[in-house]
Structure 1
Amino acid sequence: MRAAVAVQYLLPHRLLSRLVLWAARCRWRPWKNLLIRRVVAAYEVDLGEAAVEDATAYPSFAAFFTRALKPGARPLPTAAQAIACPADGRISQAGAISAGRIVQAKGQAVSVAELLGDEAAAAPYAQGQFVTVYLSPRDYHRVHMPLAGELVETLHIPGRLFSVAPFAVEAVPRLFARNERLVCHFRGADGPFVVVLVGAMLVSGIETVWSGVEVPPYASRPNGRDWQGQGIRLERGAELGRFNMGSTVIVLLPTGPARWGDLVPDQPVRMGQTLGNVTDVAKTSVDS
């Protein structure tokens, strides 16, 4: 096991993330401007597409990291049945769910039941489809709806905060089911679907548009909330939440006609681009 992975088992994940939370929300101008400039330079962040292009105008590093984009910067699909990419980033894996398990990385898999924290909730997805998008520090960090849907329930599941960078995903067994995460269940026109927001090392928060800050506080036990009948319906492409720092989004679609296009691991993607279709026959799936 490489040292960078081995040390993560020993690190105080939540303490480190709380320290990042404080640092990211500090409004002292010299500090927040130093952090922003260093990230912009290190990761070649394109502020030309941001609603606010002046890096020093953000009140905190967290505000910069969750920055909005200019209107029209991420065009949505025109086809009614297209599945929109939920976030900027890179494809980690995508394809068919086999026997209730998704591919985490080559040689690594995780069960849908464990990922969702509920055996019954996982049943519709046993032979469905999934896509995992990894967000790096350079990416736009708001998460959007892949399809239109009504929020049914959420489940905040406690866990560790391993890095979700590719080297860790390839080395840590069941990483996505071990990390703290927020599972969001939706009901769409073509059936249910799930969007999972996976926390990660130094991610200081997960927020949703319907409930505000969800993480922290970090969970000590699973915490579910029933949203049925509250009229929370989001259109395809609408913002559903955001990460403070890089992380991962996993979309699960049920057994049925949904298929992906030509997606390959490490492929760059942008929020809103067409990833597949809920009626088309599959062309290819990512090599596991």
Structure 2
Amino acid sequence: MKTWFYRLLIELTNHKFTSQLLKNFAESKWSKVLIPSYAKIYHINQTEMQHDIHSYDNLHEFFTRKLKPGARQFINDRNIITSPVDGVLEDSGMIEADKMITVKGKQYSIKEMIGDDDRIKKYIGGKFLILYLSPSHYHRIHSPIDGEVITQYALGTKSYPVNRYGLKYGKSPLSKNYRVITELKTGSSHLLFVKVGAMFINSIECIAKHHNWRKGEEVAYFSFGSTVVLLFEKDSFEIHEYIQVPFDIKVGEPLGQINN
């Protein structure tokens, strides 16, 4: 009963019509009145915001806010993978031989997530990381490494929540939601950088149009709740030992080291 009820709520809040209504409201001038209470409820750090809270014309502008220059620092070491987002490292583990990952006790198909069976062969036996962004987080996405974009493409349409309950009760949100997949090459290693949208169709806005990304540069942003999945080739990445799931992390902070 609990599972059925939660899935019903997910369907209601992620229907195209209701999602569009919420999106229209968030982008309207009428939503501006909610910004102060939103900032209070979610404990938004206003001192690091690029603009004063009263300068935002609607809730969507506030949700996708930028930070002041220097609010996030990035490690210069080219072999260190830094967090591309502010969020919580919700899970990590091994990419299994049958092309599955297990997140919160639930299995997800990498083939379904990536949509390219040939591309994922070199990631079998590698590591994966799941980074979840709550409504309280900064929602701009930055490159985790200096790298060359090998390919970038989008998959999926309907989006389910990607919070803890969505991962548990949703219909495979990591492999069915609207998502943008970027494959990066850094040195001799490759990684898959998957941006997973939530709530709204096409909730990921890509900014970087060039093919050589620099660590720390802004490459995209989420226009609503979201998750990032990082997939590494076998023997190419080691997460730092002090990181224990769940782990709060900010853009630019180290996740681990890539072996080139």
Say yes or no: TM over 0.5: yes
Q: 1:32 to 1:56 in 2, by over 3 A?
A: farther
1:37 aligned partner: 36
Structure 2, unmatched stretches of 5+, are none
Deviation at 1:9, TM superposition (A): 3.5
Aligned positions of 1:26-105 closer than 5 A: 26=28, 28=29, 31-52=30-51, 54-99=52-97, 100-105=99-104
**Tell me, what secondary structure is at the counterpart of 1:119?**
coil
Q: Is the 8 A contact 1:13 1:162 kept in 2?
A: no
Distance 2:214 2:171 in 1: 35
One-letter code of the match for 1:70? K
2:243 aligned partner: 263
One-letter code of the match for 1:74? R
Q: Is the 8 A contact 2:160 2:171 kept in 1?
A: no
Deviation at 1:12, TM superposition (A): 4.8
1:238 aligned partner: 217
Q: 1:25 to 1:194 in 2, by over 3 A?
A: same
Q: 1:171 to 1:265 in 2, by over 3 A?
A: farther
Q: 1:22 aligns with which of 2, 24, 28?
A: 24
Distance 1:175 1:23 in 2: 24
One-letter code of the match for 1:264? Q
**Tell me, what secondary structure is at the counterpart of 1:23?**
helix
Q: 1:18 to 1:50 in 2, by over 3 A?
A: same
Aligned positions of 1:219-234 closer than 5 A: 231-234=210-213
1:5 aligned partner: 7
**Tell me, what secondary structure is at the counterpart of 1:35?**
helix
Q: Is the 8 A contact 1:51 1:68 kept in 2?
A: yes
Deviation at 1:210, TM superposition (A): 3.0
Q: Is the 8 A contact 2:177 2:198 kept in 1?
A: yes
Q: Percent identity of the aligned residues?
A: 27
1:120 aligned partner: 118
Aligned positions of 1:118-197 closer than 5 A: 118-172=116-170, 174-197=172-195
More off after superposition, 172-181 vs 201-210? 201-210
One-letter code of the match for 1:34? V
Deviation at 1:204, TM superposition (A): 6.6
Q: Is the 8 A contact 1:151 1:185 kept in 2?
A: yes
One-letter code of the match for 1:269? I
One-letter code of the match for 2:250? R
**Tell me, what secondary structure is at the counterpart of 2:152?**
strand
Q: 1:111 to 1:12 in 2, by over 3 A?
A: closer
More off after superposition, 110-119 vs 150-159? 150-159
Distance 2:144 2:194 in 1: 12
Deviation at 1:242, TM superposition (A): 0.3
Q: Is the 8 A contact 1:88 1:269 kept in 2?
A: yes
Q: Is the 8 A contact 1:21 1:205 kept in 2?
A: no
The one-character-per-residue Cα deviations of 1:142-171 (angstroms, maximum 9, x if unpaired) are: 011111112222221124311111112123
Q: Is the 8 A contact 1:104 1:174 kept in 2?
A: no
Q: Is the 8 A contact 1:186 1:192 kept in 2?
A: yes
Q: Is the 8 A contact 1:43 1:138 kept in 2?
A: yes
Q: TM-score, normalised by structure 1?
A: 0.82
Distance 1:245 1:122 in 2: 28
One-letter code of the match for 2:221? R
Deviating above 3 A after TM superposition, structure 1's stretches of 4 or more consecutive aligned residues are: 9-12
1:279 aligns with 2:259: yes
Distance 1:118 1:18 in 2: 30
Q: 1:139 to 1:41 in 2, by over 3 A?
A: same
Q: Is the 8 A contact 1:20 1:203 kept in 2?
A: no
**Tell me, what secondary structure is at the counterpart of 2:255?**
strand
Deviation at 1:277, TM superposition (A): 0.4
